[in-house]
Amino acid sequence: MTRDPGVLRSPRETCSIEETFRASFDPALLAGLPGLRKAVGVDPMDFPSSLGCSPNAWVPHGGAGRCAIAVADLGAGVLTGARMPPSHFDVTAGGDQVFVVFGMDERHHSVVNGVSVPFAALGLGWPGTRCVAHWPEHVGADQSFVTAHLSLDRVPPDWPRAGELFSIHELSGPAMTRLRTVLTEIFLAMAREAPPSGPDASEHRLGRLVEAIGLALRGSSVLPAPPALVTKGYLSLIDRIDDHIVAHFAEPIRLEDVAEALRVSRRTIHNVMTRVRGQT
C-alpha cells in the first residue's frame, strides 16, 4: 500500500505527526502545563490505575520495561498519550464516552481483535466494546498512541458501531465524509481549548499535536478495515487461559497442562493465542 505523504504532513506543520507527537509527549515538557492531569512513567501492569480519569476498563497481560503516560483535559474531550513497550492488554469501553485511538509512530503495528492495524489507523470504541490489543515484540522499541475520549453528545448518530476499525490511509466514498468532518471539528476544537503555554494556543505542544491530527484527517478519507478475525468464542477461551495461568502462576506451566485443564487441544490453544495476541 502506498501512503500518501499528504496524510502524514500538514501544510501548516513543518514536522510530521509522529515528530509532533514525540515532541508533545515528553513528560518533562508536559509536567508544568495547565490542564494536564498526569504525566508519569509506570509499569505497564499498572496502566489501569495510571489512567484514573479514563472510563475504560484496562486489563494488561504483561509487558517489559516502563511506559510513559500523559492525560490532559482539553475541555472538548480528554486526550491520553502513551509510549509503551511491546505488550498486550484488553480494554472495554465504559461510561458514556466513545474512544478514538490513533497509532502515532511510523513503526506502529498492532493487532486489535484479530485485525492488523498499521501506522495512522484509528479505531472507534463504543461503551461496552471490548478490544484485545497486542503489540508484537518483533516491532522493536516502544510505540506511541493517542486516545481521545469523546462524550456521546458530541458523536453523530451515524457513526459506525461496535469498535470497527478505520484507516486514514485509504480513499473512500461519501459515506465516510461525515466521520472525517466531525473528527476534524472535534480535534481542532480541542486544540483551540487547550491551555496555551505562549500567546497563542497553537504554541501549546499538546494543542499542536491535536491540531496536526485534525489537519491530517481533513486532508484524507477513511475506509472500513477487514472484518475482525476474532470471535466471542476466541475471547472466551483467552479469558479461560488467562484465569488458569493466574491460578497456577507459582507452578511450572506447560501447554499440555493448560490444554488438559481446559479440555481443548494444544493446537487450539496455539491457534487462539497466535490469532488474538500474535504469539503463543
Q: What pLDDT is recorded for position 211?
A: 65
d(CA 30, CA 81): 11
Residue 219, sorted as left (phi over 0), alpha (psi -120 to 50) or beta, turns out to be alpha
Query: Range of 19's domain?
Result: 5-224
**Residue 219 and residue 267 in one domain:** no
Q: Lowest-pLDDT range, 202-206, 218-222, 227-231, 252-256?
A: 202-206
**Residue 238 and residue 217 in one domain:** no
The structural domain count of the chain equals 2
In this prediction, residue 199 has a pLDDT band, given cuts at 50, 70 and 90, of very low
**Is the pLDDT score of 94 beyond 60?**
yes
Q: What is the DSSP string of 83-100?
A: EE-SEEEEEE--TTEEEE
pLDDT digits (tens, 9 = 90+) for 223-276: 555 556 667 788 788 888 888 887 887 788 888 888 999 999 988 888 887 777
**Residue 121 and residue 138 in one domain:** yes
**Residue 122 and residue 65 in one domain:** yes
Q: What pLDDT is recorded for position 275?
A: 73
Residue with more model confidence, 240 or 100: 240
Residue with more model confidence, 261 or 61: 261
d(CA 133, CA 60): 10
Residue with more model confidence, 118 or 147: 147
pLDDT digits (tens, 9 = 90+) for 128-180: 777 777 766 666 556 666 777 777 776 666 665 544 555 555 445 454 555 56
- Given a contact cutoff of 8 angstroms between Cβ atoms, the answer to whether 63 and 115 are in contact is no
**Residue 120 and residue 256 in one domain:** no
Q: What is the DSSP string of 173-217?
A: -GGGHHHHHHHHHHHHHHHHHSPPSSSSGGGSHHHHHHHHHHHHH
Boundary of a domain, candidates 224, 245, 268:
224
d(CA 30, CA 205): 8
CATH number, position 22: 2.60.120.10
Instruction: Name the strand (E) or helix (H) holding 59.
Output: strand 57-63
